[in-house]
Amino acid sequence: MTDEKLHAYRDKRDTDASGEPSGKGSAPTSDDRPVFVVQRHDASRLHFDLRFEIAGVLVSWAVPKGPSVDPREKRLAVRVEDHPLDYADFEGRIGEGYGEGTVIVWDTGPYESLTQRDGEPIDADAAVRAGHLKVRLHGSKLTGAFALTRTGSRDGKEQWILVKIDDDGADRRRRPTSTQNESVLTGRTNEDLEDE
C-alpha cells in the first residue's frame, strides 16, 4: 500500500539525480507518536512544505508563505504528492529538474490528531480524506493546535487553508518564517547549502 501511495512521488523525480530519498525500505518512526516536519524549500519560489506522518507516508502540503502562529492569518496550503518517511530529515540540494533548489528541516517534532467527528476522535488518515485535519504540534518553532481545511481544487490540486488555533502556542507578533531561517537539525540555512 505504501508503494502505491508513493507512485506519484517516484514518477515525478529521478532520485539518483536529485539526491532525494527513494523511499524504498522506509520504516515508521521509532517514537510512539507520529511526526510532522516543515521543510523550507528554496526552489523556483521559496515556500514551506508541511508534512505529517500518516499511514506509512508523509502526507504533504506546499504552503507558499509558510505557517503562521497568528490565529488571524489564513495561509493557503496546496496538497502535493505523499512523500516517503525518510524524507522527514532530508536536507540538501535537489539537482536539476522537479523541485530543483535547497531544502532544510525548518521544524519537526511529534504531533497528535485532535480531529473529531460527532464528538468522537478520528484518525488523521480519515480526517484528511474528509477534508479537515486538526492537530497539536510539539515542535521547536511551532507548538499548539493548527487546523487544515480543504476549500476546493484548482488546476487539479486540492486547495486547503492552514490556520493557527488561538491557544498557548499562538503569538500575534512573532513571525518565525521570516525571522528564524535556520534548520532545527543542523543550524544551516538554505543559503549555507547554496555555498557548499
pLDDT score of 55: 93
What pLDDT sits at residue 142?
98
pLDDT for 29 beyond 70: no
* SS3 labels along 19-52: CCCCCCCCCCCCCCCCEEEEEEEECCCEEEEEEE
pTM score of the predicted model: 0.92
Number of domains in the chain: 1
pLDDT at 27: 52
Dihedral (Cα; 77, 83, 87, 93), 10-degree rounding: -70
Q: Is the pLDDT of residue 186 over 90?
A: yes
Q: Where residue 25 falls among pLDDT bands split at 50, 70, 90?
A: low
List Cβ neighbours of 32 (8 Å cut-off, separation of 6 or more): none
Cell matching residue 116: 473529531
> Domain range spanning residue 55?
2-21+28-195
| pLDDT at residue 8, rounded to an integer | 81
pLDDT in tens, 50-96: 999 999 999 999 999 999 999 999 999 999 999 999 999 999 998 87
Q: Would the pLDDT of 31 be above 70? A: no
In the chain, the amino acid numbered 158 is E
pLDDT tens digits, 124-176? 999 999 999 999 999 999 999 999 999 999 999 999 999 999 999 999 999 99
Within its chain, how far is the Cα of 82 from the centroid? 10
